[in-house]
Chain A
Amino acid sequence: MGYNIPKRFRKELPQKKFEKRILGRVHLPKERQFLNSVFETTNEGTRRIPESVSEEDRAHLAKLAKDIKANRGSVRRVRLAALGIIVVGIIVFNLFFLDALLERAAERGLEAVFAARSEVDELDFSPLAGELTIAGVSVGDRRRPMRNLFELETLTASVNVVELLKGNVIIREASVATIRTGTARSTSAALPRAERGDGDSGQDTPSLVDRARDAAEGTFEGVSRLADPAALVEQELSNLESPALVEDIRAQYETFTDRWTERVEAIESTSEETVALAARVRDIDPAELDTPQEIADALVLLREASQQVDTVLAGSREIAGATREEYRAVETTLNRVEESLQRDFGYIGSRFSLDSVDVSGFVSGLAEEFLVRLLGEIYGTARRGLDIAERLRRQADEADAGGGGGISRAPGRVVSFPAVVYPRFLLQRAALGVEPGNLDVRLDGELTSVSSNPALWGEPTRLSLAGARGGTSLAAESELSYEDGRADGLLTTVSGAGLSFNTSEIPRLGALRSNYEFQTSLQLAAGGGATSQTTVELADLELDREETENLVVTAVQDVVAGLGTVDVDAEFTISEGSARLDRLSTSADDAIRQGVAATLNARRDEYVARARAELEGRIEEELAELEPLRERAARIRTEAERIREALAARDRLIEEKRAELEERSRALTAEQRERVEDEARDRVRDATEDLDLDGLGF
């Protein structure tokens, strides 16, 4: 293939032009040398390429011509032209698809702020006029994915176009036709975790309703043990005094009767011989004893009987005394049964303390449930408001922070100038119309000073809504304050009148219906803590009773059904994830407490009486079982006494006989002496009759 000399090199050029246009655009020394060698110098001093240049040099020149062309100018015209086409294309695309792009951007923005799927049906933006109209906005509720946080019919806003070109969305005036809250969604509003952009699980914290239910369950559990006094007596048997005492008495009786029986039998066996001997003594008739020998024999028998009776009598006295003492001890113990029974009654009464029934927990539980049902939306909405403010600020911060890049750079210092500086986002005022999903009242009001940089704007965000329909009215005032540009606290006051509620079935109690008025103020701190003061006035409270045999529940039902107007004052502290009831008082507190306490007292008295009767019956039964033993012991004791008395009688008999025998002995002795004297006298007289004793001078 043959090469022509490139067009650029065909012209004859003056030396200066040759250097400027040719050599000036060749930047390799050897190429310059080549050109200098190829271009010959004419007589006129111009430079040209001779026709005789070789084929190889022509090819080289062709390449150099391309290089020279490439080295001409500083701008890549082709790329610039391509960029121009792209820019024009983008402008045209934006003109036709700007609204669609903004629509999608608005959806993404709402999703970022509310952390839930959001849809915008229609968006119309006129850049030159700065008029923005949005229709059919639905923002999902991240806590209830099948519900919308709100639906918005139409929003019209005037956007500051100049500020928009500076990157600030400034809306001085907006009008929101109707916002409906809590409407149902056909698709879930849950975003993937990555899109949600936080660690929030999206679940509600443990419900206060559950806590209320637990409290109520616990309350009723507290009285279940009142049901069976016999079971209680059985359960408390080891702690009672009287049953143990009765058992002790039984053991004593059994031990003593056995021992006494042995003793009495021993006395009886020895006393038979004594009785026989005593019978022989009794049969002695001293008058019939005529001789000293007979008397002596009788005295021997008497002495023998006396010794035996004395021995047996001493034993019987000892036994009778011991038996008497032991019997008396048992009887004394028996008498203590009554005293111990009285002490046991006192103990049983103490087991029915009202402390076991947490009435206050029940009242709190009911009130908490009521308040949570009533005010849950307010808490949730306020918390969401604070979250949204924080997200708005965080997004602005992230936008200000920029992309960053792989290598960290110092953030630098932002210098402010004496110019009107707006936050990245500002909604100065928006007129609102809200239709809460659970109420048949339309609320009108305004939202002011929503800003991504509250420190710059300098005014707190305020929301005020109010509305009335029929006898129902509702009003809400909310103010979000800032500290150092961060949301510092949210104070929300909501009040309503002419409202009514209808609870679901409260466990074991029933369903409540009432008309009510309320006012609640909720102070939410940015750190997560919150306090709330709430006043509720319930009127015409009605209760659909649940059938129950539980007396406490019945008492509560009675009191609740009889309540006319109830004032409820409550203070809650809500920290991250849980709510704590700091104080709760209702005008029903005392009524319910007194009603339940009266019922419980009556119930307790009844149960105490039943338990006493149960214990008393049990002790009486046991004592009745002891009666044969007691009778036997008494019989034995009587027998021992009888034996002792019989032996004493024998002893007395022996003593009498002894006295009689001694008398007889003395009489017989005197008689014998007299007879001997008489006989001696007779003998003397006989002897002296023969003698003349007078003559002897005697």
Chain B
Amino acid sequence: MVINWIAKLIAGLIANRRPGEVAAGIAFGLLLALLPPGNLIWPLLFILTFFLKLNLGAELAALGIFRLLVPAADPLLDALGFRILTAPSLSQLWTSLYEIPLLPFTQFNNSIVMGGLVAGIVLWIPVFFLARVGVVGFRSHVQPKIAESRIVKAFTRIPLVSKFSQALRRFRGAYAAFG
């Protein structure tokens, strides 16, 4: 499972796929990490990513990494969310939203949820473009050098790596077929 996720991530990096797929995966991973679970927004966003052409491996990897870091940012998210929720100019909007059926399930009136959501959306675009630039740079400069290096060639002969490589190939085939 984990190998497949890593394979997906590597496949996304080296295959003939849009760099934006990996970048979007990373950006969504950050957004999901910033949002606390237990509200309706989180599963909806997560399900949404299943229907978008983005790299799921990159998303899960980013989610795992950012979730370790995000609790440190909770005070900032709390302050941000609280400021947004208590902004007088927005109070009418929030009140109206709160009256709408199903929306209370999103717990948008929680400062961490609101702060995480807003921070995640705001950070999504720069993270996406930065990640995209990184993927393009990786493909142009790093990947060829790695592929040609002796160490990698020797490394790929190791049985476990060989197995990993097979998984990667299988995935790439399946990925292509799924479309």
Given contacts A70-B17, A415-B86, A415-B111, contact A409 B71 (CB under 8 A): yes
Taken residue by residue from 1 to 30, chain A's Cβ proximity to chain B (1 for < 8 Å, 0 otherwise) reads as 000000000000000000000000111110
Stretch at the interface among B2-10, B45-53, B122-130, B154-162: B45-53
Q: Are A417 and B95 in contact (CB under 8 A)?
A: yes
Q: Does B1 contact A (CB under 8 A)?
A: no
Q: Are B95 and A411 in contact (CB under 8 A)?
A: no
CA of A167 to CA of B18 in the docked complex: distance in angstroms? 41
Q: Are A80 and B51 in contact (CB under 8 A)?
A: yes
Q: Does A194 contact B (CB under 8 A)?
A: no
Q: Are B179 and A409 in contact (CB under 8 A)?
A: no
7 contacts between A and B (CB under 8 A): A75-B52, A76-B53, A83-B50, A165-B101, A412-B74, A413-B82, A414-B111
CA of A410 to CA of B77 in the docked complex: distance in angstroms? 10
Q: Chain A residues with Cβ under 8 A from B112's Cβ?
A: 409-413
Within 8 A of B (CB), among A398-412: 401-405, 407-412
Taken residue by residue from 67 to 94, chain B's Cβ proximity to chain A (1 for < 8 Å, 0 otherwise) reads as 1101100110110011001100001001
Given contacts A27-B139, A166-B104, contact A419 B113 (CB under 8 A): no
Give, as a whole number of angstroms, the nearest-CB distance from B64 to chain A. Answer: 10
Give, as a whole number of angstroms, the nearest-CB distance from B98 to chain A. Answer: 5
Q: Are A69 and B103 in contact (CB under 8 A)?
A: no
Give, as a whole number of angstroms, the nearest-CB distance from B6 to chain A. Answer: 20
Q: Does B36 contact A (CB under 8 A)?
A: yes
CA of A416 to CA of B82 in the docked complex: distance in angstroms? 11
Given contacts A71-B18, A76-B51, A78-B178, contact A402 B38 (CB under 8 A): yes
Give, as a whole number of angstroms, the nearest-CB distance from A225 to chain B. Answer: 71
Q: Chain A residues with Cβ under 8 A from B36's Cβ?
A: 402, 405, 409, 412
Given contacts A66-B176, A417-B98, A419-B99, contact A29 B53 (CB under 8 A): no
CA of A411 to CA of B38 in the docked complex: distance in angstroms? 11
Q: Are B67 and A407 in contact (CB under 8 A)?
A: yes
Q: Does A33 contact B (CB under 8 A)?
A: no
Supply 18 further A-B pairs (C-beta < 8 A) apart from A71-B53, A412-B36, A415-B85.
A73-B53, A74-B52, A75-B53, A76-B52, A76-B53, A78-B178, A83-B50, A166-B101, A166-B103, A404-B37, A409-B70, A409-B74, A410-B112, A412-B113, A413-B81, A415-B82, A418-B95, A419-B99
Q: Does B110 contact A (CB under 8 A)?
A: yes
In order of increasing CB-CB distance, the 6 nearest A-B pairs are A402-B38, A412-B112, A165-B101, A410-B74, A415-B85, A417-B95
Task: Give the residue among B39, B81, B91, B98 with the most A Cβ atoms within 10 A.
Answer: B98
Q: Are B78 and A413 in contact (CB under 8 A)?
A: yes
Q: Chain B residues with Cβ under 8 A from A415's Cβ?
A: 82, 85-86, 94, 109-111
Give, as a whole number of angstroms, the nearest-CB distance from A414 to chain B. Answer: 5
CA of A403 to CA of B75 in the docked complex: distance in angstroms? 20
- Chain B residues touching A, range: 35 or more
Q: Does B120 contact A (CB under 8 A)?
A: no
CA of A162 to CA of B51 in the docked complex: distance in angstroms? 30
Q: Does A31 contact B (CB under 8 A)?
A: yes
Q: Does A110 contact B (CB under 8 A)?
A: no
Task: Give the residue among B16, B37, B51, B95 with the most A Cβ atoms within 10 A.
Answer: B16
Q: Are B175 and A70 in contact (CB under 8 A)?
A: yes
Q: Chain A residues with Cβ under 8 A from B78's Cβ?
A: 410, 412-413
Give, as a whole number of angstroms, the nearest-CB distance from B32 to chain A. Answer: 11
Q: Does A627 contact B (CB under 8 A)?
A: no
Q: Chain A residues with Cβ under 8 A from B67's Cβ?
A: 407
CA of A419 to CA of B91 in the docked complex: distance in angstroms? 11
Give, as a whole number of angstroms, the nearest-CB distance from A408 to chain B. Answer: 7
Q: Does B25 contact A (CB under 8 A)?
A: no
Q: Chain A residues with Cβ under 8 A from B75's Cβ?
A: 410
CA of A66 to CA of B178 in the docked complex: distance in angstroms? 11
Q: Does A157 contact B (CB under 8 A)?
A: no
> Interface of A with B (CB < 8 Å)?
25-29, 31, 64, 66-67, 69-71, 73-76, 78-80, 83, 162, 165-168, 401-405, 407-421
Among residues of B, the one whose C-beta sits closest to the C-beta of A401 is B38
Q: Are A27 and B17 in contact (CB under 8 A)?
A: yes
**Residue in contact with B16 in the complex, picked from A64, A78, A416, CB distance below 8 Å:** A64
Among residues of B, the one whose C-beta sits closest to the C-beta of A76 is B51
CA of A144 to CA of B122 in the docked complex: distance in angstroms? 59
Q: Are B53 and A74 in contact (CB under 8 A)?
A: yes
Given contacts A27-B139, A165-B101, A414-B110, contact A70 B179 (CB under 8 A): yes
Among residues of B, the one whose C-beta sits closest to the C-beta of A66 is B176
Q: Chain B residues with Cβ under 8 A from A403's Cβ?
A: 37-38
Give, as a whole number of angstroms, the nearest-CB distance from A487 to chain B. Answer: 25
CA of A167 to CA of B102 in the docked complex: distance in angstroms? 7
Among residues of A, the one whose C-beta sits closest to the C-beta of B24 is A74
Give, as a whole number of angstroms, the nearest-CB distance from A167 to chain B. Answer: 6
Give, as a whole number of angstroms, the nearest-CB distance from A74 to chain B. Answer: 5
Taken residue by residue from 16 to 32, chain B's Cβ proximity to chain A (1 for < 8 Å, 0 otherwise) reads as 11110000000000000
Q: Chain A residues with Cβ under 8 A from B74's Cβ?
A: 409-410, 412
Give, as a whole number of angstroms, the nearest-CB distance from B30 to chain A. Answer: 15
Q: Chain B residues with Cβ under 8 A from A66's Cβ?
A: 176
Given contacts A27-B16, A412-B78, A412-B113, contact A165 B102 (CB under 8 A): yes
CA of A402 to CA of B101 in the docked complex: distance in angstroms? 19
Among residues of A, the one whose C-beta sits closest to the C-beta of B37 is A405
Q: Chain B residues with Cβ under 8 A from A75's Cβ?
A: 51-53
**Residue in contact with B105 in the complex, picked from A83, A167, A408, A420, CB distance below 8 Å:** A167
Q: Are B111 and A407 in contact (CB under 8 A)?
A: no
Q: Are A162 and B101 in contact (CB under 8 A)?
A: yes
Q: Are B38 and A404 in contact (CB under 8 A)?
A: yes
Give, as a whole number of angstroms, the nearest-CB distance from A602 to chain B. Answer: 78
Q: Chain A residues with Cβ under 8 A from B109's Cβ?
A: 414-417
CA of A27 to CA of B39 in the docked complex: distance in angstroms? 37
CA of A408 to CA of B51 in the docked complex: distance in angstroms? 29
Q: Are B101 and A27 in contact (CB under 8 A)?
A: no
Given contacts A415-B82, A419-B95, contact A167 B17 (CB under 8 A): no
Q: Are B16 and A69 in contact (CB under 8 A)?
A: no
CA of A167 to CA of B105 in the docked complex: distance in angstroms? 7
Q: Chain B residues with Cβ under 8 A from A412's Cβ?
A: 36, 74, 77-78, 81, 110-113, 115
Q: Chain B residues with Cβ under 8 A from A168's Cβ?
A: 104
Give, as a whole number of angstroms, the nearest-CB distance from A605 to chain B. Answer: 81
Q: Are B51 and A402 in contact (CB under 8 A)?
A: no
Give, as a whole number of angstroms, the nearest-CB distance from B104 to chain A. Answer: 4
Give, as a whole number of angstroms, the nearest-CB distance from A527 to chain B. Answer: 30
CA of A38 to CA of B70 in the docked complex: distance in angstroms? 49
CA of A625 to CA of B47 in the docked complex: distance in angstroms? 113
Give, as a whole number of angstroms, the nearest-CB distance from B77 to chain A. Answer: 8
Among residues of B, the one whose C-beta sits closest to the C-beta of A412 is B112
Task: Give the residue among A31, A166, A404 with the most B Cβ atoms within 10 A.
Answer: A166
Among residues of A, the one whose C-beta sits closest to the C-beta of B33 is A407
CA of A74 to CA of B49 in the docked complex: distance in angstroms? 11
CA of A25 to CA of B53 in the docked complex: distance in angstroms? 13
Q: Chain A residues with Cβ under 8 A from B68's Cβ?
A: 407
Q: Chain B residues with Cβ under 8 A from A411's Cβ?
A: 112
CA of A67 to CA of B71 in the docked complex: distance in angstroms? 39
